[in-house]
Chains A and B, each alone.
Chain A
Amino acid sequence: MNDGIDVKSMHDRGRTPSQWKYVLCIAPMAVFLIVTFFWPVARFLFKSVDNSDLVSNLPRTVIALADWKHTDGIPGEDVFAALVQDLADAHANGKDGIVAQKINQRVVGTRYLVIKTARIAAKGGFAKEALRENVLKRFSKWGNIELWSAIANDLKPLTEFYLLMSVDLQKNPDGHYESVPEEQAIFLQVFGRTVWISIVVTLICIVLALPVAHAIVAARPNVARVLITLILFPLWTSLLVRTIIWMILLQGNGPINSTLQLLGVINKPLNLIYTRFSLYVAMIQVLLPMMIFSIVAVMRRIPVNLMKAALSLGSPWLWAWWRVQLPLIMPGIFTGSAIVFVFALGYYITPALIGGPREQMISSFIAFYTNKTLNWGLASSLSIQLLFLLVLVWLIMLMSRFVFLKRTEK
């Protein structure tokens, strides 16, 4: 025990100066990454649970609704007084729009109810006596018990609303979790689809990349250079050009269909574009190079003699490849798969242009909520789910790698 510590500390002492150098080398990059990446990402992800826009702008309502339950019926005078006062303040501070937005996300069709109520409240337009009746007479929608329970259910500083929504769940008035109505249940399906598409793309990339990588490694340097340039072409072409080319190639009267018809292989144009097939083709075209290069990098380091030895000992080629070559290539396949899979998860412009409606992936929804409706709570929740999926897949890969390496060690 003692020995160990001594050795370690001696070891450390010996390395201290150079370690500081390393730290200094990394420091600018680390600071840069923290400031420009990790910190903003963390802040954005926090928005998935942040409820301060609602809670801090409705302080009196929060207190007044603390003991209210939906079984009590429409809240009483005190709650209405608190709400009117809060909305008047919110209007004065220019916060009524945000409050209205947040309430509308929970109960659709209430945005202008809140904004109009706030406007009138700010002008003192509601008579002090019989305030509740007064408000209800002007805006009968405040008599909606679902609206009240949606507000009352969600007046804590941290909300679970967006995270639930991102997995097609909601809280019912009793506080139990339930599925959202069938017509609104889409995210789980899209997550499943996104992962499935990414897995298939990764697997096809592996299958296609292996022979190409073999060819590149076996070829003379000049030929290999040409091959690599050819593989890089798709990456150098702009996304839109690449997409339009696929549209022209795959459409009903495009070259592929007309050639097949001319040859008499088919008598009616095949449905090629706006299908899962066309999406796979377009994605693989771009992602395949990453797989190929990952495998080539590993393959170049494998001594040629190993295969030769296996073959000369009488093993059939395929068997030798399976037992000798493949295990050595495996690290390259793992790296390539990780890159391809992660890239594939984030695709959304290509699916929008080449895929059909059943091919849309989760990032298109994240972009929609981030940019179009400014619902950053939901956008951030969907991002968290995506991140969660990523970590899950990463763990699975790590484990399979571990299991695999252990097996080959035996």
Chain B
Amino acid sequence: MKLARVLLTMVFVVCFSAQFFPAAAGEQVTVVGWGGNWNKAYEKGVWKPYMKQTGVKIIQEEWMGEVAKIRAQVQAGNIIYDMVSVEAPGAEIGCAEGLFVKLPRSVTGDPDKYHPETIHECGVASDTWADVMVYNADFIKGKIPKSWADFWDVKKFPGKRQLYGQAQFTFENALLADGVPVSEVYKVLRSPGGVDRVFKVLDRIRPHVIWWNQTTQAMQNLASGEVVMSDGFNARITHEIEAEKKNYVILWEAGYFYGTDLWVVVNGAPNMKVALDLLTWFSEPKNQAGFSNNFAYGTGRVEAINYVSETKRAQLPTAPQNIKYGAPYDIEYWVENKEALEKRFKTWLSK
């Protein structure tokens, strides 16, 4: 008797919970972004208009960029994510492994209409960010720094500096400080002795550098005056200036590199069709601009900037007035060399 009752309860539970299974609901899609204000900007500027227009339900999740999670999902055949924003090198590796769907032109539109390195076989830019030079005007008065060479000049501008504790970003910034123009940086890095040159430049500034690993940490050090100059992600710095009324100055004209995170569709995604449709819709410049209007990162389509408000435009790495000083991170270079160079960099740091 007891057993029958238990079985009956179990049947009930299964039937009841089946209502919550995705398959039973209307059309929906799970998109995974970087969380916080980034997700909010996407929700407000992009997902809501799409949901209103199509009636599709977008479920937003957040992650920390661990492509390992997607690899595990695909290998186990238990795929939860549909569309994910992945760092470009991760997108390249995952794409080559078959973790992500190759996107047809009917989805992405003409690749020539994108900024360089913001479109990929498997993805289109979800956000185009930049690692920029910034100083705290509360602590630097009178003579102000204008270039990466000034960043390296501890006599002219005394005080500690702050750099990102990894090879990518730091290598590029070091070469800019050594007088290499942005367009030549990867030519130098690829040439024999190029990397040695980077380490020689880094040796010069090493005793004056605090290495940051998380944006919160970088911003805290900049705010307190622990460091007078830093590099950092432009949107976070803009946020500090606007929301926290900080006296920071971003030096676009010092030269900068921009990178992209790419929307990719996971191979075997449960809502593949909806995801591809969403991405097709997102590839329109007007629809992309919804993100940049709410967050200081650009997107992929060059024309998207035309739909961004005047005040927001000046804050974007993809704005015409800024991008003349910038160049994209070379994904091929970093995918090939990241492991070896990060290891060499960490060894150098440990000395």
Q: Which residues of A contact B (CB under 8 A)?
A: 94-98, 100-101, 104-105, 108-112, 115, 182-186, 189-190, 240, 243-244, 247-248, 251-254, 273-274, 352-353, 356-358, 360, 365, 368-376
Chain B residues positioned under 8 Å from A111 (CB to CB): 335-336
Chain B 131-144 interface 0/1 with A at a Cβ cutoff of 8 Å (1 = within): 00000000000000
Q: Are A247 and B340 closer than 8 Å at their CB atoms? A: no
Instruction: Across the A-B interface, give the 7 residue pairs with the lowest CB-CB distance, nearest first.
Output: A97-B96, A357-B349, A371-B66, A352-B213, A108-B340, A94-B98, A186-B347
Among B93, B211, B216, B346, which residue has its beta carbon within 8 angstroms of that of A101? B93
Q: Are B350 and A373 closer than 8 Å at their CB atoms? A: no
Q: Are A353 and B214 closer than 8 Å at their CB atoms? A: yes
Chain A residues positioned under 8 Å from B98 (CB to CB): 94-95, 97
Q: Are A112 and B336 closer than 8 Å at their CB atoms? A: yes
Q: Are B350 and A353 closer than 8 Å at their CB atoms? A: no
Minimum CB distance partner of B67 in chain A: A374
Chain B residues positioned under 8 Å from A189 (CB to CB): 350
Minimum CB distance partner of B214 in chain A: A353
Report A385 CB to chain B, min CB distance, Å: 16
From known contacts A101-B97, A373-B93, infer whether A108 and B226 are also in contact, taking CB-CB under 8 Å. Answer: no
| In the assembled complex, B268 has its CB within 8 A of some CB on chain A | no
Given contacts A97-B96, A357-B350, 16 further A-B pairs with CB under 8 A are A108-B340, A182-B347, A183-B347, A184-B344, A185-B347, A186-B347, A243-B217, A247-B217, A252-B226, A254-B224, A357-B349, A358-B349, A365-B346, A370-B66, A372-B89, A374-B90
Q: Are B226 and A97 closer than 8 Å at their CB atoms? A: no
- CB contacts under 8 Å to A, within B289-341, are 332, 335-340
Report B193 CB to chain A, min CB distance, Å: 14
| In the assembled complex, B48 has its CB within 8 A of some CB on chain A | no
| In the assembled complex, B342 has its CB within 8 A of some CB on chain A | yes
Chain B residues positioned under 8 Å from A115 (CB to CB): 96
Chain B residues positioned under 8 Å from A358 (CB to CB): 349-350
Report A195 CB to chain B, min CB distance, Å: 15
| In the assembled complex, B65 has its CB within 8 A of some CB on chain A | yes
Cα A372 to Cα B342 in complex, Å, equals 11
Q: Are A112 and B96 closer than 8 Å at their CB atoms? A: no
Report A191 CB to chain B, min CB distance, Å: 12
Chain B residues positioned under 8 Å from A243 (CB to CB): 217
Report B22 CB to chain A, min CB distance, Å: 23
Minimum CB distance partner of B209 in chain A: A357
Report B207 CB to chain A, min CB distance, Å: 11
- CB contacts under 8 Å to A, within B84-106, are 89-90, 93-98
Minimum CB distance partner of A108 in chain B: B340
Report B81 CB to chain A, min CB distance, Å: 15
Cα A366 to Cα B80 in complex, Å, equals 25
Chain B residues positioned under 8 Å from A95 (CB to CB): 98
From known contacts A189-B350, A352-B213, A371-B65, infer whether A98 and B337 are also in contact, taking CB-CB under 8 Å. Answer: no
Q: Are B220 and A357 closer than 8 Å at their CB atoms? A: no
Minimum CB distance partner of B210 in chain A: A274
Q: List 6 A-B contacts (CB under 8 A).
A: A94-B98, A186-B350, A273-B226, A353-B214, A357-B165, A370-B66
Minimum CB distance partner of B72 in chain A: A40
